Amino acid sequence: MKGAQAILEFLTEQGVDKVFGYPGGAIMPLYDALLDSPVQHYLCRHEQGAAFAAIGYARSTNRVGVCIATSGPGATNLLTSLADAKLDSVPLVMITGQVARPAMGSDAFQEVDVLGLSLSICKHSMQVMTAEDLVPCLQKAFHIAQEGRPGPVLVDIPKDILTGLVPATPQAVSDYQMPEYSMQDLQAANQLIASSERPVLYIGGGVGMANAVDELRDLIQRTDLPQVCTLKGLGSAESEHPLYLGMLGMHGLAAANLSVQQCDLLIAIGARLDDRVTGKLDEFAPHAKLIHLDIDPAEIHKRRRADVSLLGDLKTILPLLGTDTVNPSWREWVSDLKVSKAFPYAVDNSPGQIDAPQLLRQLSDMSANDAIVSCDVGQHQMWVAQHMRFSQPSCHLSSGGLGTMGFGLPAAIGAQVANPDTQVVAVCGDGSFMMNVQELGTLRRYQMPVKILILDNQRLGMVKQWQELFHEERYSETDLSDNPEFSRLAAAFDIQSDVIQCRSQVGEALRKMLAYPGPYLLHVQLDHKDNVWPIVPPNTANHQMWEQPK
């Protein structure tokens, strides 16, 4: 069997039936073999788009996303997505073609050192140098992408290995060992919980990735612990719970940040205390002891010393945690704070400028319970996180660690491929949307019913907000008032669209969009003066957030 066929056969054995990619010289033998394979390939319009689609596929299913690209520019176009997947721990396998072995190292046409480029942005990467190694490398790649803390793995394959014969090879076995907590640490953790007066659960993306949402919700039900979530943790806890406080951090909700600043015990579950969460690190949760649960030993003590750490699979640890219920006066303090700081949602049909938070809340209420929302990066991303509710973490696709503009549309495409019957909405910023706008071509090609909501403030809004607040209103290169006409852009791809600019139009426009059977673009014109509140200024403690000026 030829190398190219062996790859596709291997993918089929792994249960991979859908892949994303873009062809080119060095990878052509694999594209040739695709014609005779049951593996379905989705052609995106840029390798970055293809890789973000693979990320959307992976994040909405917790399965490995697979993406294929050619050598040279194809591979370099993948790099941003690899970094995105690395920082958000997304299981991906990227297959890149490479020039044939005899040409390697000669600066051949479309030759770049992809292995070298991949080192710091992949969980692991391999270059296949013998035919015997091809299938074992792929097996290893699938193991590594999924085991422990997931992440992207790149496999670079010279063209002559794709066209040459490969022998049948034995299965590669994984030698991964799950890190293990000790019984002593478990006891210590439970003692800390029992003796704490003001505990808070700080929930990260690890919960969803460990498939431990049920175990987390069970823990919450048993203990009534107040809960805050990171951007990636959203959807893990039930948003209706009276002690669920929403997202914490730089644009966290006031009740979430204030509770964490007051707590005497912080229980971090699959979260990494990153700087967007902690604000000024040495004033973060200043009265709290820390229990840190994670699968990655390198996260323990990295940003803050843990008093107790529990390493391992959250799915097995969470059921063993905390049995008592929480001190009633703390519960009361937290729930009162939640009520007093609650955002005043109200459907308002009066004429006037559209308010993005209200619109997103309305969208959340109107869309299906299992709807998947992906978004770009900027103010709109924070509004999505603050104001929309998600039934599972896999329903919220947002570029967290890397914060990559242009993530929303291709990630939505990948999620729709993986979940053809689920409602998928991409909430895009006008700036971000243009970064992968070519993927409208992918929507058109496959007629996927993805709904695109562009929140258009004619600005690079988040940067503009910082210029306003922290750079003395010196607006440098953030004006996008020369944006294209988005509905005409949609029309060029045969995509239905609508445009609204007035509050009274919101309900009907959202209804129309959600009910439409095919792809749809809703262009929402906003006032460019709107900002995201609260905001914790840089190098400031989280309780010193600035709230919306009255």
Partner 1 sequence: MNYQLEMLLTDQPAVLERVLQTTRYRGFRVDSMQMQPASKQMKVSMLVSGKHPISMLTSQLNKLYDLASLECQAQLVQSGEQQSTQAQPLPKTA
Ligand X SMILES: Cc1ncc(C[n+]2csc(CCOP(=O)(O)OP(=O)(O)O)c2C)c(N)n1
Binding residues for ligand X (CB under 6 A): 376-380, 403-405, 429-432, 455, 457, 459-463
Catalytic residue among 5, 18, 20, 47: 47
Specify whether the CB–CB gap between 97 and 26 falls below 8 A: yes
Q: Which is nearer to partner 1, 301 or 512 (CB)?
A: 301
144 binds, options partner 1, ligand X, none, Cβ within 5 to 8 A by partner type:
partner 1
Structure tokens at 273: 């205390």
Catalytic residue among 126, 405, 462, 513: 462
Among 165, 178, 281, 347, binds partner 1 (CB under 8 A): 178
100 binds, options partner 1, ligand X, none, Cβ within 5 to 8 A by partner type:
none
Which among 383, 449, 439, 429 has a CA at the least distance from the CA of 524?
A: 429
Q: Which is nearer to ligand X, 200 or 427 (CB)?
A: 427
Catalytic residue among 9, 28, 110, 132: 110
Minimum Å gap between C-beta 321 and partner 1 is: 21
Question: Which amino acid, residue 350?
Answer: S
Q: Which is nearer to partner 1, 120 or 476 (CB)?
A: 120
Minimum Å gap between C-beta 148 and partner 1 is: 4
Specify whether the CB–CB gap between 32 and 59 falls below 8 A: no
Q: Which is nearer to ligand X, 47 or 160 (CB)?
A: 47
Q: Look-up: residue for tokens 């040279």?
A: 72
339 binds, options ligand X, partner 1, none, Cβ within 5 to 8 A by partner type:
none
Q: Which is nearer to partner 1, 272 or 380 (CB)?
A: 272
Specify whether the CB–CB gap between 473 and 479 falls below 8 A: no
Q: Determine the Cα–Cα distance for residues 278 and 539; give it in Å rounded to an integer.
A: 10
Catalytic residue among 13, 109, 187, 501: 109
**Which residues ranging from 494 to 513 are in contact with partner 1 (CB under 8 A)?**
none
Q: Which is nearer to partner 1, 305 or 471 (CB)?
A: 305
Q: Determine the Cα–Cα distance for residues 375 and 408; give it in Å rounded to an integer.
A: 4
**Which residues ranging from 271 to 310 are in contact with partner 1 (CB under 8 A)?**
296-298, 300-302
Minimum Å gap between C-beta 362 and ligand X is: 18
Minimum Å gap between C-beta 113 and partner 1 is: 9
Residues β-bridged to residue 267:
201, 291
123 among known catalytic residues: no
Q: Determine the Cα–Cα distance for residues 169 and 178; give it in Å rounded to an integer.
A: 27
Q: Which is nearer to partner 1, 176 or 345 (CB)?
A: 176
Among 86, 149, 464, 523, binds partner 1 (CB under 8 A): 149
Catalytic residue among 140, 159, 232, 464: 159
Q: Determine the Cα–Cα distance for residues 516 and 536; give it in Å rounded to an integer.
A: 39
Structure tokens at 45: 């319009």
Local structure of residue 516 (DSSP, 8 states):
-
Minimum Å gap between C-beta 62 and partner 1 is: 18
Minimum Å gap between C-beta 78 and partner 1 is: 17
**Which residues ranging from 317 to 376 are in contact with partner 1 (CB under 8 A)?**
none
376 binds, options ligand X, partner 1, none, Cβ within 5 to 8 A by partner type:
ligand X
Local structure of residue 171 (DSSP, 8 states):
P
Minimum Å gap between C-beta 177 and partner 1 is: 6
4 binds, options partner 1, ligand X, none, Cβ within 5 to 8 A by partner type:
none
- Rule CB under 8 A: is residue 315 a binding residue for partner 1? no
| Beta strands in 295-345, from DSSP E residues, in sequence order | 308-311
459 binds, options partner 1, ligand X, none, Cβ within 5 to 8 A by partner type:
ligand X
297 binds, options ligand X, partner 1, none, Cβ within 5 to 8 A by partner type:
partner 1
332 among known catalytic residues: no
x/- letters, 112..131, toward partner 1 (CB under 8 A)? ---xx--xx---xxxx-x--
Q: Which is nearer to partner 1, 143 or 528 (CB)?
A: 143
Alpha helices by DSSP H, listed for 392-542, are 408-418, 430-433, 440-446, 461-470, 486-492, 506-515
Minimum Å gap between C-beta 309 and partner 1 is: 12
Cα angle 219, 221, 226 (rounded to 5 degrees) comes to 80
Q: Which is nearer to ligand X, 423 or 457 (CB)?
A: 457
Three-state SS at 237: coil
176 binds, options ligand X, partner 1, none, Cβ within 5 to 8 A by partner type:
partner 1
Contacts 24+ apart (CB under 8 A), 163-167: 163/2, 163/3, 163/4, 163/29, 164/2, 164/3, 164/131, 165/1, 165/2, 165/3, 165/131, 166/1, 166/2, 166/3, 166/6, 166/131, 166/132, 166/134, 166/135, 167/131, 167/132
Minimum Å gap between C-beta 311 and partner 1 is: 8
Local structure of residue 546 (DSSP, 8 states):
B
Three-state SS at 449: coil
Structure tokens at 495: 């995509």
How far is CA 391 from each of CA 1, 23, 182, 301, 426, rounded to the nearest angstrom? 45, 37, 33, 31, 17
How far is CA 77 from each of CA 402, 408, 429, 438, 520, rounded to the nearest angstrom? 16, 17, 22, 14, 27
177 binds, options partner 1, ligand X, none, Cβ within 5 to 8 A by partner type:
partner 1
Per CB under 8 A, the segment of 24-32, 50-58, 82-90, 175-183 that binds partner 1 is 175-183
Q: Taking the CB of residue 17, how many other CB atoms lie within 10 A of it?
A: 12
Half-sphere exposure of 37 (CA within 13 A, CB side): 23
Per CB under 8 A, the segment of 48-56, 111-119, 473-481, 523-531 that binds partner 1 is 111-119
Residues β-bridged to residue 42:
20
47 among known catalytic residues: yes
Site residues (vs partner 1, CB under 8 A): 115-116, 119-120, 124-127, 129, 144, 147-149, 176-179, 296-298, 300-302, 311
Catalogue the active-site residues. 47, 109-110, 159, 462
